[in-house]
Structure 1
Amino acid sequence: MPSPNSSPKRTPAQFLTKFPLWPLILGTLLGVLIADHCGLHFESSFGLTPPLLDSWFWLIETTALAALALIVRKPAVTLLSLGIIFGHLSHGLTIERQQEGRQYVTATPDRSVTIHAVILDTGRSEKGPYLAKVITSDQSGVKTSSVLPAGLRIVLITSKDQTSPLQIGDLVHVQGSLSPIPPPRNPHGFDLARWRHRQGANLQLVADHPVQAVGINTLRIPLRTMAKWRNTLRKNMTRGLEPESEDAQLIRAVVLGERPPQPSTMIDDFRNSGTLHVFAVSGLHVGMVGLLIGFVLSLLRAPRWMIITLTILGMALYAGITGGRPPAVRAVIMASVFLSGFLVKRHPVLINSLAASAVLVLLWDGHQLFTPGFQLSYGVLLAIALFTRFWTQRLHRIGQLDPFMPRLLLSHWQERRLVIREHLQGSLSVSCAAWMGSSPLIWIHFGIITPISILASIPLMLMIFGVLALAMASISLGSLSSKGGEKINQLNALLARVTRNTAAGFATVPGSHFHKTRKRPEHGQVIIFDLPKGGGAQFLDFGGGILYDSGSPRNFRFHVQPTLTHLRARPDSLIISHADSSHCGAMYQCLSLYQPKQAIIPRPDQRSPSYRQFIRSVDQYGCRTITPQPGQCFLLSSEPSKPLGTFLEILHAPANLKGRGRADDTGLVTRLHWRGWTILFTSDAGWITENRLLQSGLNLQADVLVMGRNANDYTGQLHFIDAVSPQAIISSHAPFPEAERIPNTWAASIRQRGIHLIDQQQSGAVTLTMEKDQLKLSPTLPDRPTLILTR
């Protein structure tokens, strides 16, 4: 006898009859995939092809599919064919345009270009780099038959002399150098080229002179206006709060999608509790805004058509104010398709609304198919549509009333408890279904799975809804009374603090989250980061991990931290080579991020502000500071077969030097002893420090020399190089300032000595690993050879 809670099973054919758009969405997906692989021309991906197929590929494909639809005469085949044709055409045109842009750069020797363009996006900081669309380009004086196509998207990087930021919709006339967007220069770093490619841009234009707006694009005026509103709302929703406090950051993240400006444990807590999506304006935020608008209008007894219309308009306005990001636009399209069903007095089916909105989104921008945001948005909603009933049946006992107890006999409080249980059952069912859709994708894209999110999402989403509602109330009331707005902001800050603490509590539950285990070399590794403008940082992957310099705060966030996060590394030791902000500027942030046990410092009396901030903060985090002496050794890891293990030897320490001196000349020089190999780290030591080492009488020999450039003195005198006698030198190289460059004459002298010189401008970061008796020096940039050293 079937259970009263069971429902008859539906066959696939019965399911598809209620989902008539499946062939259209399937065809659109196939069309976009084909276009992404080969554009409109077959040759772009497969090389040698018949000329007819190369030039007429899309037309031949369209003719064949149209003939198939006419022969078979079935709606499914017709919709499938239409999806392939239009998906291929819409995305293929975009891919062709991007390919033409790359061909133009390849064919133009000096890559100098003058363009007329419109600003599409101002970047997260609203000060660039900018996303721009080419309207026309000046081809005069360019010796190439290639043409920079109109409509091509590029990344515009303004010059250092730029004083006023550009705005959305600005028409600009720019002269500069056009080049491909560079690949990541550090291992596991953020792939900017890949990310920009999915925005339709493969090229960047570095302006020669400050860029001035010469007009405004009429079509962009609404977004331009809403961008100005965003700045006003940003101030009003946190008025009366400390602007950089975590409470204010969370409020801005929930309402506007702003990421915190610095690395923080708050982001880790939300990530590990499975609720990091609150930091990006997505379908969740758009849906909450729609719910608030609908609730207020229903209280005012507005008719259904007005509620639906104003809700859609309100969500669209919110998406525009938050920057018109693709996730928000997708959510507005999905909600508009779904809610429009009620306007025509039809009960919409979620899965059909998803299919219709997905077709519209992909025809608008096929690149979105390949973004994690698109896959998560539609994957989660599809899972909710497919599996909520399944989980409702499995969890029916939570909201089930005793079958022998008539509901009419329940007391008032019993009825309330039953209603709460029914809501809990529904919330858990949706949460479990959403987790089934999101967890595989999150594991693939981000390497983490969070079972705790099934439970955490229910209270945290309610709190996030409260933060959003209070922020909107503050904006509304604050326009009438600034004091009233500040009172609501104080209340919202309290709710934001409770939300943060709740996320932190869920994140600390045992088994709340699991990270993908990254394979790391058996005998450890050394990563020499490549940082802009002469910065320096290294990671010694031995024992608990040692971060040897961190770079500046910006360089740490964008170049160093992604590598450590990917490796799941939490260094328990820090080393500061010298008190220079480009080397130790982010060390105070590392105290809160990694809670290190000890830090080796050159001396405590250096005057660098970032260094002083670190020294003041170490006691707060229980980090022990060590000021070493020359000749002192620190064990990094021990091995039974090697009594000395892997250790770091101090060759130069400024602890006993008189006076403070320049930071570059009052730093540490260390030598790593690693299973018979030696690596010398001189940081930015110059002539003065090198002479001290030469006069010390120490054996300076090392297999690899890792060096920076001294800002005020000559670096790498040949007598010192001869004393070290390395097989390879890894040297930083920045075009500006001039002191950070590798001199050509010096490089020639190094090569004449038979020493391998690895210029980090050419190689990017270098990773040192060991295999048997070989030391491998692997550059990060593609097409650069790996250097293998032997004893």
Structure 2
Amino acid sequence: MAENLAQVLMFLTFIWIALLFSKKWRFITICFLCFCIFFFRTEWEEKRQASELTGEETKIQGYIDDGPSRDGDVVHMQLTLPSSEKVPVTMYLKEASEVADVPLLKPGLYCSIAGTLKQPSAARNFHAFDYATYLKRNKSYWLFEVQSMRDISCVSPTPSPLTLTKLIRFYGLQHIDKHFPNELKGIAAALIFGEREFLHPDTENAYQRLGLIHLLAVSGLHVGLVTGLIFFVFIRFGVTRETSETILLLFLPFYIIIAGGAPSVIRASSALGIYLLLRKWRVNICPFQLLLFLALFLLFVSPFYLFHVGFQLSFVVSGSLLLSFRILGKLPSILTTISVTIIAQVSALPILLFHFYEISGLSLLLNFFFIPIIAGIILPSIFVLYFISFLPSSVFLLLSTPFHILVLKIHECLHAIEKWGFFYYNPGKPGPVYIGILSIVLCSGMYYVDKYGYRKIIWGLACIIFLLLFPMVQPHLNQKGYVTFIDVGQGDSILIEFPYRKAVYLIDGGGALSFPKEEWAKRRKNYDPGERAVIPLLRAKGISTIDKLIVSHGDIDHFGGLYQVIEELHVKEVIYGKGDTFKESELDFLMKAHQQNIPIDWVEQGDYWEQEGMTFHVLWPVGNEEPGNHRSVVLWAEIGGTGWLFMGDLEKEGEGDIVQQYKGLRADFLKAGHHGSNTSSTKELLQRIKPKAAFISAGKCNQFGHPHEETLDRLEEEEVTIYRTDLQGAIEVTFLKNEILRIQKALENGDKKDCE
């Protein structure tokens, strides 16, 4: 609800600034009528959000609408049912021989597919991306999983013009995948077809974090280049201007589909099409009003566009530049270029903060430097290289090599700059009221600069600086602390935030178990819970510094996700269990921490420390254990006036030793050992510490069957309240200095554990 409110506030702010620039009551009346129309239109669209599928179907039929795209042994595509409902399909390849059959699937085929319907899960961590809501807004309510190519049978009906256009896009992407070098194919597919499938996830992340992702979106520049080239060719061949413009009008709808149909290309192509029509009809209209009417029209057709980040950025940035036309027109050319970059960055600020929680302080400078390179050199060259790629491969290789090297160096540069962590502004996820106020202040500042020049800009800058600093200070004014059991799948990760943000501890970071695969089955990038779960939560909370990174032991499902943490955040200290021997994977992680200049504190039984009135005692290891579960760092802590026991993966033998050595040990809250395995959380331990609540961190439908029924039975016998990340997602305990306030679950209604 808060997310929807924030995005509605941003849109209403856009309307409000339009009213400032138009003092005509007629325009205000039109806006009011539009509000009423859109209210009822949206209500009607909401009521239509229902699936015709029951969930029991084992076979579905429909047209391939998008894809397929293969990443190792996984194939993704989208099926459109006869009812227009869209179903994302995921197919898992079992044999290398199936790879050759994947290209036989293409847009326009009518397919009957056997498999299993799955309900998309809601966000399993606080502030995480809600995939289920995203699908719903795109008229998708189910996921369909297929186990083999043999479960798919297709026929090829007579293709429509729409299907033929999609096939041009499909075969164009296949051509790039087959002929372009790896580093070049990602940017070529993005700039020509609006598809980032071939772009390495790390490279895409670098563009996004540095505020350059818009350079890979098909926008007005691309539309202008393509249509300008077509127009020039027709004129050179003697076609009249009027006929050339008519051809462009017919071409633009097809180009929208070929370029991926993103909001930015829809905006640019539609605006150009309307402009050409108005030229034919000799009608003059204010460009800003044209943009506004176009936005309203698209929202009327599809109200959920409002929540699309691409739609928001495309129209808000374009609108801001149009509103600043008078300012820009008075400046010298070099200052105009700088001002355009500044205006675009400032107008996008609330949207970027709301969706991504951080902004690079170098974004403005990088945009000023890279926009001319991408737009002036790479973009036109990529289009030329695409056509050259149909010539003999030796010719293409010779001509593409310089640009391949250039793109490679650009990406190496971006990866290096991305690691400069001290340049990031990370206030955490802002609330809807804050976003609304920031949007109003920014728009008002741009309005007054346009009206009065730069004389009164000092007050606007003061307000903006205050608003940007406020969320950085706010956590240090909050008397509440938090313990969050992050859902990292089959692994552990626990975040401890002290009251007033006096300190932040992170115990483990999850990690995905990897198994050997044949070359054809390897994916571009394996799932990393540190990157996908831990880092996004830390960013959403505005955390950029970890005071103590506590690694319970040397199993990959506990420290594997911490590589990303020590790379992207400032970690002051690593806490690690003392031992004589270490596994190779442990040594690799410890060496990485050493390379990051992070001191390592080796702890053993009897060590303790106190910070901000909270005490932490190390109960285990003794220091001579073999690597693995038995060397887990076991902590007893007093947090919020309550005893906590964090068991790592310690099992029965170690628990027995702790019970024998600590006769008076008590803990109201227990982090159950070894993900709820039957080898941990023994009856002796439970009866000794007498917990009121136990937290079990385990992956949904994990292959080990955690938590085991025996463990759950023992907890229930002792009347312990059980919290489980596999069913309830992340769990957050809020506390004051001497009081536990509440326990909140990311999935309040729980997640149905369907593990067939």
**Which aligned pairs between 1:130-279 and structure 2 lie closer than 5 A?**
130-135=77-82, 150-158=83-91, 167-178=106-117, 180-207=119-146, 211-216=151-156, 218-219=159-160, 220-234=163-177, 236=179, 238-239=181-182, 256=194, 258=196, 260-262=200-202, 266-267=206-207, 270-271=210-211, 275-279=212-216
**Which aligned pairs between 1:454-473 and structure 2 lie closer than 5 A?**
457-465=367-375, 466-473=377-384
Match of 1:668 in 2: 633
| 1:193-230 CA distance string (max 9 Å, x none) | 22112211233344577642423463435324423422
Question: Larger Rg: 1 or 2?
Answer: 1
| 1:100-142 CA distance string (max 9 Å, x none) | 54xx64xxxx74453212333348876455443223xxxxxxx
Match of 1:589 in 2: 564
Q: 1:736 to 1:295 in 2, by over 3 A?
A: same
In structure 2, runs of 5+ residues without a counterpart are 1-19, 426-460, 512-526, 752-756
Mapped to 1, the partners of 2:219 and 2:672 lie a distance apart of: 45
For residue 190 of structure 1, report the CA deviation from its aligned partner: 0.8
For residue 767 of structure 1, report the CA deviation from its aligned partner: 0.7
Decide which of 484, 492, 495 is 1:536's aligned counterpart.
492
Letter in 2 for 1:540: I
For residue 489 of structure 1, report the CA deviation from its aligned partner: 1.4
For residue 657 of structure 1, report the CA deviation from its aligned partner: 1.8
Deviation larger for 319-328 or 462-471 = 319-328
For residue 758 of structure 1, report the CA deviation from its aligned partner: 1.4
Is residue 438 of structure 1 aligned with residue 348 of structure 2? yes
Does structure 2 conserve the Cα–Cα contact (< 8 Å) formed by 1:290 and 1:312?
no
Mapped to 1, the partners of 2:407 and 2:483 lie a distance apart of: 46
Does structure 1 conserve the Cα–Cα contact (< 8 Å) formed by 2:299 and 2:306?
yes
**Which aligned pairs between 1:672-691 and structure 2 lie closer than 5 A?**
672-691=637-656
Match of 1:115 in 2: 60
Q: 1:301 to 1:30 in 2, by over 3 A?
A: farther
Mapped to 2, the partners of 1:627 and 1:768 lie a distance apart of: 28
Q: 1:124 to 1:773 in 2, by over 3 A?
A: farther
Q: 1:263 to 1:582 in 2, by over 3 A?
A: farther
Mapped to 2, the partners of 1:496 and 1:710 lie a distance apart of: 40
Does structure 2 conserve the Cα–Cα contact (< 8 Å) formed by 1:540 and 1:547?
yes
Does structure 2 conserve the Cα–Cα contact (< 8 Å) formed by 1:448 and 1:516?
no
Does structure 1 conserve the Cα–Cα contact (< 8 Å) formed by 2:210 and 2:360?
no
Match of 2:269 in 1: 332
Q: Secondary structure at the match of 1:517?
A: helix
Mapped to 2, the partners of 1:544 and 1:301 lie a distance apart of: 72
Mapped to 1, the partners of 2:485 and 2:200 lie a distance apart of: 27
Q: 1:158 to 1:505 in 2, by over 3 A?
A: closer
For residue 656 of structure 1, report the CA deviation from its aligned partner: 1.8
Does structure 2 conserve the Cα–Cα contact (< 8 Å) formed by 1:630 and 1:651?
yes
Match of 1:656 in 2: 624
Letter in 1 for 2:50: Q
Mapped to 2, the partners of 1:758 and 1:361 lie a distance apart of: 44
Deviation larger for 427-436 or 588-597 = 427-436
Is residue 351 of structure 1 aligned with residue 288 of structure 2? yes
Does structure 2 conserve the Cα–Cα contact (< 8 Å) formed by 1:633 and 1:648?
yes
Q: State the number of aligned residues.
A: 649
TM-score of the two chains, using structure 1 as the length reference: 0.70
In structure 1, runs of 5+ residues without a counterpart are 1-8, 40-91, 136-149, 399-420, 639-644, 786-791
| 1:540-584 CA distance string (max 9 Å, x none) | 224442332222353223322221111111243422223333322
Does structure 1 conserve the Cα–Cα contact (< 8 Å) formed by 2:176 and 2:189?
no
Q: 1:567 to 1:171 in 2, by over 3 A?
A: same
Q: 1:309 to 1:515 in 2, by over 3 A?
A: farther
Match of 1:36 in 2: 42
Q: Secondary structure at the match of 1:530?
A: coil
For residue 318 of structure 1, report the CA deviation from its aligned partner: 6.3
For residue 536 of structure 1, report the CA deviation from its aligned partner: 2.0
Q: Secondary structure at the match of 1:227?
A: helix
For residue 728 of structure 1, report the CA deviation from its aligned partner: 0.5
For residue 528 of structure 1, report the CA deviation from its aligned partner: 0.3
Is residue 782 of structure 1 aligned with residue 729 of structure 2? no
Q: 1:524 to 1:507 in 2, by over 3 A?
A: closer
Does structure 1 conserve the Cα–Cα contact (< 8 Å) formed by 2:117 and 2:143?
yes
For residue 705 of structure 1, report the CA deviation from its aligned partner: 1.0
Match of 2:471 in 1: 517
Mapped to 2, the partners of 1:254 and 1:503 lie a distance apart of: 22
Q: Secondary structure at the match of 1:383?
A: helix
Identical positions, percent: 18
RMSD (Å), alpha carbons = 4.3
Deviation larger for 724-733 or 336-345 = 336-345
Mapped to 1, the partners of 2:335 and 2:181 lie a distance apart of: 36
Mapped to 2, the partners of 1:265 and 1:206 lie a distance apart of: 27
Mapped to 2, the partners of 1:288 and 1:350 lie a distance apart of: 20
Decide which of 578, 582, 602 is 1:627's aligned counterpart.
602
**Which aligned pairs between 1:303-322 and structure 2 lie closer than 5 A?**
304=241, 320-321=257-258
For residue 598 of structure 1, report the CA deviation from its aligned partner: 2.4
For residue 238 of structure 1, report the CA deviation from its aligned partner: 4.0
Letter in 2 for 1:687: K
**Which aligned pairs between 1:5-16 and structure 2 lie closer than 5 A?**
12-13=23-24
Does structure 2 conserve the Cα–Cα contact (< 8 Å) formed by 1:575 and 1:600?
yes
Does structure 2 conserve the Cα–Cα contact (< 8 Å) formed by 1:170 and 1:213?
no
For residue 715 of structure 1, report the CA deviation from its aligned partner: 2.9
Does structure 1 conserve the Cα–Cα contact (< 8 Å) formed by 2:686 and 2:718?
no
Is residue 483 of structure 1 aligned with residue 458 of structure 2? no
Mapped to 1, the partners of 2:505 and 2:22 lie a distance apart of: 58
Q: 1:451 to 1:267 in 2, by over 3 A?
A: closer
Q: Secondary structure at the match of 2:707?
A: coil
Q: Secondary structure at the match of 1:367?
A: helix
Mapped to 2, the partners of 1:739 and 1:498 lie a distance apart of: 43
Does structure 1 conserve the Cα–Cα contact (< 8 Å) formed by 2:75 and 2:93?
no
For residue 282 of structure 1, report the CA deviation from its aligned partner: 4.4
Letter in 1 for 2:573: Q
Match of 2:443 in 1: none
TM-score of the two chains, using structure 2 as the length reference: 0.73
Q: Secondary structure at the match of 2:201?
A: coil
Match of 1:763 in 2: 728
Letter in 2 for 1:535: G
Match of 1:76 in 2: none
Does structure 2 conserve the Cα–Cα contact (< 8 Å) formed by 1:711 and 1:739?
no
Q: 1:555 to 1:291 in 2, by over 3 A?
A: farther
Q: 1:522 to 1:762 in 2, by over 3 A?
A: same
Q: 1:570 to 1:654 in 2, by over 3 A?
A: farther
Decide which of 682, 700, 714 is 1:717's aligned counterpart.
682
Does structure 1 conserve the Cα–Cα contact (< 8 Å) formed by 2:677 and 2:707?
no
**Which aligned pairs between 1:67-78 and structure 2 lie closer than 5 A?**
none
Does structure 1 conserve the Cα–Cα contact (< 8 Å) formed by 2:563 and 2:589?
yes
Match of 1:80 in 2: none
Q: 1:161 to 1:233 in 2, by over 3 A?
A: closer
For residue 185 of structure 1, report the CA deviation from its aligned partner: 1.2
For residue 770 of structure 1, report the CA deviation from its aligned partner: 0.6
Mapped to 2, the partners of 1:622 and 1:250 lie a distance apart of: 35
| 1:364-396 CA distance string (max 9 Å, x none) | 43321332322332223233333322x247xx3
Does structure 2 conserve the Cα–Cα contact (< 8 Å) formed by 1:132 and 1:155?
yes
Mapped to 2, the partners of 1:524 and 1:682 lie a distance apart of: 21
